[in-house]
Amino acid sequence: MMEGTERNNEAVRPLLGKTALVTGAGRGIGRAVALTLASQGAAVAVNYNGSEAQAREVVAQIESMGGQAQAVCCDVSDFAACGKMAEEIAARYGHVDILVNNAGVTRDNLILRMTEEEYDRVLEINLKGAFNTIRHLSRYFLKQRSGKVINITSVSGIMGNGGQANYAASKAGLIGLTKSVARELAGKGISVNAVAPGFIDTDMTGKLSDSARGKLLERIPMGHAGAAEDVARLVAFLAGAGSDYITGQVICVDGGMCM
């Protein structure tokens, strides 16, 4: 009877016993990812920088489901701070198994108007931030000879997008980072993949005008925006055992926008 119960738990909660760090997890896609991983059994470190209240709400929701979670404040562009965050999570849970690099910002502007600060800040958070967390957590992955890294890139990093030279460059760089690190760590039981969302309904995209939203929808063969949960379900698959032979891949969740 006990053996059957254990199998059922594995089927319903395939990430039971795993620990995940999700950056930028207070809202949007990061929030959906944190909740989905927790629903599948993972203990989740909910990283935030400027959205403490939202991050603590995510933690409370996970705990209300009977899961484990903690809110962790860290600016992922700060190399030393990322090191301390990794140590804190490893010390609390004894291991770290999953890293989801979701933290990201936009500073949209036409290239002729874009300031150096607008360009630098987006690259610091979106690209250097992912390097920082991978760099510090990889030593734990290497020690246990297992680990899953999922980087949230964007179709903008594949196709480019007017007014987003900084954002597209950061997301394209994240794809290169994904593939390079995947090659380095594949032989150590560590997989590294990227998920590229298209037009996803979040607080960020909710600020678009009706006209801008309409133009985007015209570019999507499926004819509608995606939900954050669409991305989260793919991340959860890549975080689990079913993806053990998948690495170095970029998978779009975009309704066909980037075919």
Active site residues: 167
- C-alpha–C-alpha distance, residues 253 and 47, integer Å: 23
Q: Which residue has the tokens 């499926």?
A: 222
Q: What is the CA radius of gyration of the chain?
A: 18
Euclidean distance between the first and the last CA atom of the chain, given in angstroms as a whole number = 48
**Encoding tokens for residue 186?**
């594949």
Task: Name which of 9, 6, 71, 70 is nearest 41 in CA terms.
Answer: 9
Q: Which long-range contacts (CB under 8 A, 24 or more apart) does 178-186 make?
A: 178/149, 178/151, 178/153, 178/248, 178/250, 179/248, 181/134, 181/138, 181/149, 182/247, 182/248, 183/248, 185/138, 185/141, 185/142, 185/147, 186/247, 186/248
Type of residue found at 6: E
- CA angle centred on 207, ends 205 and 210, rounded to 5°: 90
For the CA atoms of 47, 91, 93, 125, the dihedral, rounded to the nearest 10 degrees, stands at: 20
CB 46 within 8 A of CB 58: yes
Which distant-in-sequence residues (6+ apart) come within 8 Å of 139 by Cβ? none
